[in-house]
Amino acid sequence: EKESKFSIEKPGDTLRRQLLQQLSLPVAGPASLGTGHLLEIPHWPEPGFPAAIQTPDTHREKQASPLTLSLFQSLEIGAQNSFEFQTRKEAVFQAGLALYLEQDFFRNKVIGQVQQLFSADLSTDPDRKGTRSSVEMTGERRFESGPVLTASLAADLASLLFSGGNSSLGLLGDASLSIPLLRGAGRHIVTEPLRQAEQNLVYAILEFEQFKQTFAVAVGRQYLNLLQQMDTVDNARDDYTRRQALTLRSRRLGDAGRLKEIEVDQSVQTQLVARQRWLSAQEAFKKQMDSFKMLLGLPPDAEIRLDMAPLRQMEKMDDLNRDPEIPGPLELSEQTAISLGLTRRRDLQVAQGKVFDAQRAVVVAADALGAELTFLGSASVGERRTITTADLDNARLRTDKGVFSAFLTLDLPFERTAEAVTYRNRFIQLEQAVREVQRLEDTLKTEIRSRLRELFEARQTLFIQAQAVALAEKRVKSISLFMEAGRAETRDLLEAQDALLAAQNNLTAARVNYRIAELEIQRDMGVLMVTDTGLWQEYSPKGSF
């Protein structure tokens, strides 16, 4: 997969902030507008930080209200404004920081220290008072195979204030080496925390990629469901208008004595039901719209509109001249779809990696059960100086007068209770990791099989409901003509209008369900690519995107 830039910096002028300010929406405080608008507190370490990042948002230019969003604009806005999307990006960055910290464990480290000391040694001479200036540099290097090398160089200048004002320079060089030979030895043991941090970063990236797919499909699903609900509102309004016209006609006929009063009442009753249905559809749409704005990270009280183009494009799906038995492009064979999922699903890749992590943890725990044998070596040349030794000559670094030592320490494995418990727990965790892979594998297969069935059912439903709409429209027209001729009752027309409304809503639902199933099966197979800006690139059965 191609490389891409990664940043957790949010645009300083997000669409959320624009809407809050331009529409004068109520907010709780400065935090509602972002970190760039927080008031600086006392002792803040970096004045002027965090400042607004001048990165363009998808809709940075000033927008008129209400704002109309297309599906692709919604995907981009969600990637830049969604709270959860930002949190997932920060999780990747935090995993990178944890890796950096583990890498630092094996870097060369240098520590410098400067001291200025005034002291008095009255045990031998009441006038022995003076100062000591010291500079010490210490370096340490841990090797990935286990040894630890430490070296230091110190310089002292001890000066007496009285007793002749003598002074002396001290120099000391010191080095030590520690090499584990049994327990704790070996690159695979020493570098295990680093290896795990590297794996954790890989997992964070894979999980973020999986989340991007899930988030994009969630945005697409809610957007399409909103379009479906908008269509339901339109259908309910049209149905109410038809029933209102029918009621007026029925009243005129009833007043003329050409229609029974009970039929007039039926018209009025269905008109009331239709109006209630229309109002309920509008309220359901508003509720779904608020949920959609929350998903994108936009204020729920901001007014936005949606583009109906995707729904219009889906009208081509129910062509009555098309053979309903011909599967769609994403209705793959079960074996092909499952094979793709097993190789492309990020969460399954993470679970498989954690099995290997658990295996390595067993190896490390087994190593901790053994004896610990460590070689220690040290060398020291030169001398330090204090006011007590300020009368001595200046020290020199002479290896012929140095102090050298080498020894072995052996820790016999008589008491390893805690390590034995850890060792057994590692085996249990390995079994749990294996079961998690098996669970995810079965879940993946179940999801893909379910999506394929949903695609098949939605395709068949599309054809059925397209026929039902055509038949219901024909039926309404026919009965209307029959009523004009006095050959049909009001109840017949009311039933036909009910059938038309149901067929229209069912047809839109079938279109939306098929499109959502297409997106969900791509997500479940792990083949839906999502760019850094949140846009998806859909999978082609031929293998290209």
Position 359 in a domain: no
pLDDT number for residue 545: 39
Q: Name the strand (E) or helix (H) holding 251.
A: helix 192-255
* DSSP conformational letter for 57: -
Determine how many CB atoms are found less than 10 A away from the CB of residue 411.
13
Residue 299 shares a structural domain with residue 396: no
Position 337 in a domain: yes
pLDDT, average across residues 147-157: 95
Counts of helices then strands in the chain (DSSP H, E): 11, 10
pLDDT, average across residues 244-266: 84
Does 63 score more than 60 pLDDT?
no
Does 3 score more than 80 pLDDT?
no
Q: Which DSSP string corresponds to 77-117? A: HHHHH-HHHHHHHHHHHHHHHHHHHHHHTTS-EEEEEEEEE
pLDDT, average across residues 19-42: 76
Q: What's the pLDDT tens digit per position in 469-487?
A: 999 989 988 888 887 776 7
Does 544 score more than 50 pLDDT?
no
Task: Determine the residue type at 260.
Answer: K
Rounded Cα gap, residues 373 and 266, in angstroms? 96
User: Torsions phi, psi of 397, nearest 5?
Assistant: -85, 95
pLDDT, average across residues 358-378: 96
Does 62 score more than 60 pLDDT?
no
pLDDT, average across residues 8-32: 73
Determine how many CB atoms are found less than 10 A away from the CB of residue 448.
24
Residue whose tokens read 């410098």: 112
Mean pLDDT of the chain: 88
Rounded Cα gap, residues 308 and 315, in angstroms? 11
Higher pLDDT, 125 or 115: 115
pLDDT, average across residues 235-262: 86
Please report how many Cα atoms fall inside a 13 Å half-sphere around the Cα of residue 453, on the Cβ side. Answer: 6
Query: Are 224 and 361 a contacting pair, CB within 8 Å?
Result: no
Residue 444 shares a structural domain with residue 486: yes
Among 171-175, 205-209, 374-378, 463-467, whose mean pLDDT is lowest? 463-467
Residue 32 shares a structural domain with residue 72: no
Which residues, in sequence order, are CB contacts of 156 under 8 Å at separation 6+? 132, 133, 134, 169, 170, 171, 172, 384, 385, 386
Does 60 score more than 50 pLDDT?
no
Rounded Cα gap, residues 56 and 13, in angstroms? 7
Q: What is the CATH number of the domain that holds 457?
A: 1.20.1600.10
Q: Provide the CA 341 distance to its chain's centre, in angstroms.
A: 20
Does 283 score more than 70 pLDDT?
yes
Residue 247 shares a structural domain with residue 331: yes
Query: Are 363 and 188 a contacting pair, CB within 8 Å?
Result: yes
Strand partners, 179: 375
540 in helix, strand or coil? Answer: coil
pLDDT number for residue 264: 84
Closest of 247, 278, 199, 190 to residue 505, by C-alpha: 278
pLDDT, average across residues 42-62: 61
pLDDT, average across residues 108-117: 92
Query: Are 171 and 195 a contacting pair, CB within 8 Å?
Result: no
Query: Are 71 and 307 a contacting pair, CB within 8 Å?
Result: yes
Q: Which domain holds residue 6?
A: 1-65
Residue 228 shares a structural domain with residue 349: yes
Q: What's the residue count for the chain? A: 545
Residue 456 shares a structural domain with residue 389: no
Position 367 in a domain: no
* DSSP conformational letter for 133: E
Q: What pTM did the predictor assign? A: 0.85
Residue 230 shares a structural domain with residue 299: yes
Which residues, in sequence order, are CB contacts of 199 under 8 Å at separation 6+? 353, 357
Total of domains in the chain = 3
pLDDT number for residue 543: 46
Among 352-356, 361-365, 441-445, 488-492, whose mean pLDDT is lowest? 488-492
Which residues, in sequence order, are CB contacts of 164 under 8 Å at separation 6+? none
Q: Provide the CA 36 distance to its chain's centre, in angstroms.
A: 23
In terms of average pLDDT, the best of 11-15, 76-80, 317-321 is 76-80
Does 513 score more than 60 pLDDT?
yes
Peptide bond into 147 cis (omega under 30): no
Does 1 score more than 70 pLDDT?
no
Residue 52 pLDDT class (50, 70, 90 cuts) = low
Question: Percentage of the chain surpassing pLDDT 70?
Answer: 92
Query: Are 264 and 254 a contacting pair, CB within 8 Å?
Result: yes
- Burial class of residue 389, CB neighbours in 10 A (0-12, 13-18, 19+): middle
Peptide bond into 66 cis (omega under 30): yes
Higher pLDDT, 163 or 221: 221
Query: Are 520 and 514 a contacting pair, CB within 8 Å?
Result: no
Q: Provide the CA 386 distance to its chain's centre, in angstroms.
A: 59
Residue 6 pLDDT class (50, 70, 90 cuts) = low
141 in helix, strand or coil? Answer: strand
Position 544 in a domain: no
Position 426 in a domain: no
Task: Name the region of 163 (left: φ>0; alpha: ψ -120 to 50; beta: rest).
Answer: left
Which residues, in sequence order, are CB contacts of 472 under 8 Å at separation 6+? 496, 499, 500, 502, 503, 504
pLDDT number for residue 386: 85
pLDDT number for residue 58: 47
Rounded Cα gap, residues 359 and 361, in angstroms? 5
Residue 245 shares a structural domain with residue 315: yes
pLDDT, average across residues 460-474: 90
Does 111 score more than 90 pLDDT?
yes
Q: How far is residue 264 from each of residues 249, 251, 255, 271, 500, measured CA to CA in Å?
A: 9, 6, 10, 11, 21
Residue 320 pLDDT class (50, 70, 90 cuts) = low
Position 90 in a domain: yes
Task: Determine the residue type at 493.
Answer: L
Residue 81 shares a structural domain with residue 224: yes
pLDDT number for residue 5: 64
Strand partners, 378: 176, 405
Does 369 score more than 60 pLDDT?
yes
Residue 533 shares a structural domain with residue 455: yes
Task: Determine the residue type at 463.
Answer: F
Residue 7 pLDDT class (50, 70, 90 cuts) = low
Which residues, in sequence order, are CB contacts of 433 under 8 Å at separation 6+? 351, 354, 355, 357, 358
Position 421 in a domain: no
Residue 214 shares a structural domain with residue 253: yes
Closest of 116, 156, 150, 158 to residue 136, by C-alpha: 156
Residue 301 shares a structural domain with residue 280: yes
Q: Provide the CA 264 distance to its chain's centre, in angstroms.
A: 59
Position 416 in a domain: no
Strand partners, 530: 536
Residue 11 pLDDT class (50, 70, 90 cuts) = low
